[in-house]
Amino acid sequence: MELKLYNSMTQQKEIFTPKVPGKVGMYVCGVTAYDLSHIGHARAAVAFDVLYRYLQHLGYELTYVRNFTDVDDKIIRRANELGENPLSLSDRYCQEYLIDMADLQCLPPTHQPRVSDHMEQIKDMITQIINNDCAYVVDGDVFFAVDKSPNYGQLSGQKLEHTRAGERVAVDSRKRNPADFALWKAAKPDEPSWDSPWGLGRPGWHIECSAMSAQYLSFKFDIHGGGIDLIFPHHENEIAQSCAACKESNVSYWMHNGHVTNNNEKMSKSLGNFFTIRQITEQYHPLALRHFLTSAYYRSPLNYSVSQLESASDAVFYIYQTLQDCEVALSSFGEGNLKEGTGLKDGKVPRITPAAKDCINKLGSEFQTRMSDDLNTSHILTGAFQDALKFINSSLNMLKKKLPKQQQLSMFQSLVELEKEVKSVLGILGLMPPGTYSEVLEQLKAKALKRAGLVEEDVLRLIEERVTARKNKDFARSDQVRADLSAKGIALMDEGKETIWRPCVPVEQEQQTPSVEQEQKAAPIGQEHKTAATGEEQKAAATGEEQKA
């Protein structure tokens, strides 16, 4: 299928055609490094990381540039508050951002330029804009003359007579037009500054991205991305100044991700209603946060809520437990048996079952259809993907029974192929864990304990208390222990004579009936999956039977 991307410039989806066949140049506006990055920054990074991964999957050779703004009014103000050198402060937060990106499994861009390292390119571009009579100098400041940009407003739809100074641009009576914006700011006392033809100073906000994108991608490249709040004035001004410096300047596709909201209000540092990435990942696994961020179409608003993070955490636990069980089963069988066709007369590799082939085809088709439609990841991890996980689990349960050799081999081969397809989808979405499944499952359990305010010894002690209560036929206490833990996000499951625990979405007291699927994921392969559901323990004890999942 042809990839279609929504172009903010034309306000419609367009078939993606790079300027150079087989190669893609992409520039994404990064963070202003003056504080820890928040979940809104995470959304932009993950959205364009998914695009980066998918374009690579399609076979394109990419040059991906994501900048750091390390010279800015906000950085200077924060540094003055802390009594720190502005460049030292911004460097520290650049490094913290890279740690967050690694935690979220965002691939490193090809280039991550900083403003402070590109002063010569910035000054050269400003000089070119002045020479083309599109900027003017006033007392060491250089302003872009928006009246010289005939198409100003083409991206945002803003009419020039209605535009106002950007949020980082103070109204200045020296401007010829109030909408004119600074390309270069004259030095002020105790601020970092660089020498220039117009005197000591530093760049304005917008010029940096034009200069750095031209440096690494030329004036003509394929994709320019960022948050929807950057359309005006930042990206509008980028277009104006880039075209003023080079008439042939052109970006084929402008792409913008939607806001993250908190109680339906845009999450931002200026409003003080944000959560940092670090605050979230202290309580939830980074892969749970990434799952949450990819659960919505990148252009739509995404409302932050604890319940959605809980659901995302539960979903990734189920995914990795399924893959862990599958891996254990395939490992115990031995890959060599499949390659050699052990037990088959013709010695050929066994074929996958028709049901498995259908499941694989549906998963691949649904994934390709949604990704080709402007990276619509909102339902990729539901539907056919969930059907694939259920198929793996049902196949693993079937393999515990005595089956004819050929049928057994066919089922194992089906699991091998289905696992590959599931892992391919997860890989493109950036949701394959960096270590083993068992490692990430333990990490998810540790986060769940932290959110519950417990340590594992507490849970084991309560499990023992529940066992004792059941022996004493104190089923009210037994049910209460289970209910109390479930309310804290800890689910208890019974496997024969053993009780184990796993994370779950915290359940209200009156709704604490764990799903069969959750019960099944707790038990290792090769054992009967059993449960004693809340409120059913007394019945099971009275009849001498246990409820089977």
CATH of residue 425's domain is 1.10.730
Average pLDDT over residues 288-310: 96
pLDDT-derived band of residue 549, with 50, 70 and 90 as boundaries?
very low
Q: Inform me whether the pLDDT recorded for 265 exceeds 70.
A: yes
Residue 163: its pLDDT value, please? 56
Together in a domain, 466 and 318? no
Residue 469: its pLDDT value, please? 96
Together in a domain, 225 and 368? no
| Choice between 360 and 267, residue whose per-residue pLDDT is larger | 360
Domain count, the chain: 3
pLDDT-derived band of residue 270, with 50, 70 and 90 as boundaries?
confident
Percent of the chain with pLDDT over 90: 81
User: 265, 282, 299: which is the final residue of a domain?
Assistant: 282
User: 282, 301, 324: which is the final residue of a domain?
Assistant: 282
Give the helix ranges, DSSP H, for 378-531. Answer: 384-398, 405-428, 437-452, 456-471, 475-487, 516-522
DSSP label of 349: P
Together in a domain, 431 and 457? no
CATH of residue 230's domain is 3.40.50.620
Residue 298 lies in a domain: no
Residue 64 lies in a domain: yes
CA 151 to chain centre: 35
Residue 69: its pLDDT value, please? 98
Q: Inform me whether the pLDDT recorded for 268 exceeds 90.
A: no
Residue 300 lies in a domain: no
Residue 525 lies in a domain: no
First CA to last CA across the chain, in angstroms? 41
Residue 415: its pLDDT value, please? 97
Residue 72: its pLDDT value, please? 96
Strand partners, 276: 38
Range in 244-248, 482-486, 497-501 the model is least confident about:
497-501
At 191, the amino acid letter reads: E
CA 348 to chain centre: 42
Residue 335: its pLDDT value, please? 52
| Choice between 324 and 549, residue whose per-residue pLDDT is larger | 324
Together in a domain, 14 and 121? yes
Residue 179 lies in a domain: no
Helix-then-strand count for the chain, H and E: 18, 15
Read off the pLDDT of residues 176-198 as tens digits, 9 standing for 90 and up. 999 999 999 999 998 999 999 99
Is this model's pTM higher than 0.85 or not?
yes
User: 389, 412, 437: which is the final residue of a domain?
Assistant: 437
What are the residues whose beta carbons fall under 8 Å from the beta carbon of 463, sequence distance 6 or more? 481, 492, 499, 501
pLDDT-derived band of residue 161, with 50, 70 and 90 as boundaries?
low
Residue 39: its pLDDT value, please? 95
Together in a domain, 369 and 485? no
What is d(CA 249, CA 125) in angstroms, rounded to the nearest whole number?
Answer: 13
Both tokens assigned to 335: 């890959």
Read off the pLDDT of residues 197-236 as tens digits, 9 standing for 90 and up. 999 999 999 999 999 999 999 999 999 999 999 999 999 9
Q: What range defines the domain where residue 29 resides?
A: 4-129+207-282
What is d(CA 83, CA 135) in angstroms, rounded to the nearest whole number?
Answer: 35
Together in a domain, 120 and 35? yes
Read off the pLDDT of residues 436-464 as tens digits, 9 standing for 90 and up. 999 999 999 999 999 999 999 999 999 99
Residue 496: its pLDDT value, please? 82
Residue 491 lies in a domain: yes
**Residue 387 CB coordination number (10 Å):** 15
CA 360 to chain centre: 25
Residue 242: its pLDDT value, please? 98
Read off the pLDDT of residues 75-112 as tens digits, 9 standing for 90 and up. 999 999 999 999 999 999 999 999 999 999 999 999 99
pLDDT-derived band of residue 118, with 50, 70 and 90 as boundaries?
very high
Together in a domain, 364 and 409? yes
Average pLDDT over residues 136-144: 98
Across the chain, mean pLDDT equals 89
Together in a domain, 247 and 331? no
Read off the pLDDT of residues 30-74 as tens digits, 9 standing for 90 and up. 999 999 999 999 999 999 999 999 999 999 999 999 999 999 999
Residue 329: its pLDDT value, please? 94
What is d(CA 9, CA 420) in angstroms, rounded to the nearest whole number?
Answer: 38
Together in a domain, 43 and 125? yes
Residue 417 lies in a domain: yes
Residue 40 lies in a domain: yes
What is d(CA 100, CA 277) in angstroms, rounded to the nearest whole number?
Answer: 7
Residue 514: its pLDDT value, please? 40
Together in a domain, 244 and 220? yes
What is d(CA 405, CA 106) in angstroms, rounded to the nearest whole number?
Answer: 44
Site of tokens 């150079």: 20
Residue 543: its pLDDT value, please? 33
What is d(CA 95, CA 37) in angstroms, rounded to the nearest whole number?
Answer: 11
Read off the pLDDT of residues 395-425 as tens digits, 9 standing for 90 and up. 999 998 888 888 999 999 999 999 999 999 9
pLDDT-derived band of residue 547, with 50, 70 and 90 as boundaries?
very low
**Cis before residue 233, ω within 30 degrees of 0?**
yes
Residue 541: its pLDDT value, please? 36
Together in a domain, 271 and 351? no
Together in a domain, 335 and 269? no
User: Closest Cα to residue 484, out of 451, 465, 506?
Assistant: 506
pLDDT-derived band of residue 517, with 50, 70 and 90 as boundaries?
very low
DSSP label of 148: G
Percent of the chain with pLDDT over 70: 88
